């Protein structure tokens, strides 16, 4: 159901555990964000299954249901040392391991006939600046991989672009293991990212990657 007239809705999703792990800090951080959120926007959260078949469809259904003004999908990137807002989603599903339903697509498109890639519609460099200013390790990432996280990220950007919502800022945030950035700090980071997306369009910021 949509919120009250005039109340803006933000959608934030995390993921369930996968690859045999007992937990997934992305889901834990999103649950904590939901617990601590103090508005004024209405926050809708969901912890998604790590499946190619259901995760993207579910988040697109949530977009249709709630018509959010910003979308932040979150997942675990084991081995990363920083919180990494993603800039690029590619039209490729190439799974190194089976997903939680046993599916393992190899070299398949996320959306047949879709563009090769989408760029995030969110000011991710500003989000990173906000995280660094808060003392949190952060960097822009230019690859979300080719597993379920990239699949969801691409599907979100494609759905927004094809349903008249290209103006809605959306990104994907890969979080490191909870031993690198503790879940409460991950939740604090997600709050900052959401607030950055809700702020008026900022001036361009020098950044980019040399390699």
Q: Which pairs with CB-CB distance under 8 Å and at least 24 residues apart come from 206-211?
A: 207/125, 207/128, 207/140, 209/140, 209/142
Of 14-43, binders to ligand PCA (CB under 6 A) are 15, 18, 24, 26
- Token pair, residue 109, equals 């498109």
Q: How far is the CB of 112 from ligand PCA (least distance, A)?
A: 20
Sign of the C-alpha dihedral computed for residues 127, 129, 130 and 136 taken in this order: positive
Closest CA to 160 of 201, 121, 102, 211: 121
d(Cα 208, Cα 141) in Å, to the nearest integer? 10
Q: Are 30 and 47 in contact (CB under 8 A)?
A: yes
CB of 5 to ligand PCA, least distance (A): 35
The count of residues interacting with ligand PCA (CB under 6 A) is 12
Q: 62, 113 in Cβ contact below 8 A?
A: no
Residue 108 CB, nearest distance to ligand PCA (Å)? Answer: 15
Comparing CB distances to ligand PCA, the nearer of 74 and 129 is: 74
Q: Which is nearer to ligand PCA, 83 or 129 (CB)?
A: 83
What number of CA atoms fall less than 13 Å from residue 47's CA on the CB side? 17
Residue ranges in 136-155 that form contacts with ligand PCA under rule CB under 6 A? 145, 147-149
> Which residues ranging from 60 to 99 are in contact with ligand PCA (CB under 6 A)?
75-77
Rounded to a whole number of angstroms, the minimum distance from the CB of residue 39 to ligand PCA is 27
Site string for ligand PCA, 95-134 (x = CB under 6 A): ----------------------------------------
Q: Give the CA distances from residue 122 to residues 90, 95, 113, 179, 209, in Å, rounded to whole numbers and listed in that order.
A: 16, 26, 24, 28, 17
- Cβ-based nearer residue to ligand PCA, 129 or 156: 156
Distance of closest approach, residue 198 Cβ to ligand PCA, in angstroms: 24
Q: Within the chain, what is the greatest distance between any pair of CA atoms? A: 46
Nearer to ligand PCA, 70 or 148 (CB): 148
Which residues are annotated as catalytic?
86, 149, 174
Site residues for ligand PCA per CB under 6 A:
15, 18, 24, 26, 50, 75-77, 145, 147-149
């Amino acid at each position: 159901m949509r919120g009250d007239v005039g109340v803006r809705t933000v959608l934030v999703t995390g993921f369930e555990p996968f690859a045999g792990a007992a937990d997934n800090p992305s889901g834990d951080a999103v649950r904590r964000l939901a617990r601590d959120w103090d508005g004024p926007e209405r926050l809708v959260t969901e912890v998604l299954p790590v499946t190619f078949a259901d995760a993207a469809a579910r988040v697109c259904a949530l977009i249709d249901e709630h018509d959010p003004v910003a979308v932040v999908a979150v997942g675990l990137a084991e081995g990363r040392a920083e919180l990494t807002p993603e800039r690029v989603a590619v039209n490729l599903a190439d799974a190194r391991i089976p997903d939680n339903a046993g599916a393992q697509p190899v070299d398949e498109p996320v959306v047949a006939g879709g563009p090769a890639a989408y760029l995030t519609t969110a000011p991710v460099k500003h989000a990173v600046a906000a995280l660094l200013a808060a003392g949190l390790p952060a960097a822009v990432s230019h690859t979300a991989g080719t597993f379920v996280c990239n699949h969801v990220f691409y599907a979100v950007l494609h759905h927004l672009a094809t349903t008249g919502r290209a103006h809605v800022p959306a990104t994907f945030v890969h979080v490191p293991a909870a031993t690198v950035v503790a879940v409460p700090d991950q939740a604090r980071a997600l709050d900052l990212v959401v607030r950055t997306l809700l702020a008026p369009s900022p001036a361009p910021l020098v950044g980019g990657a040399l390699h």
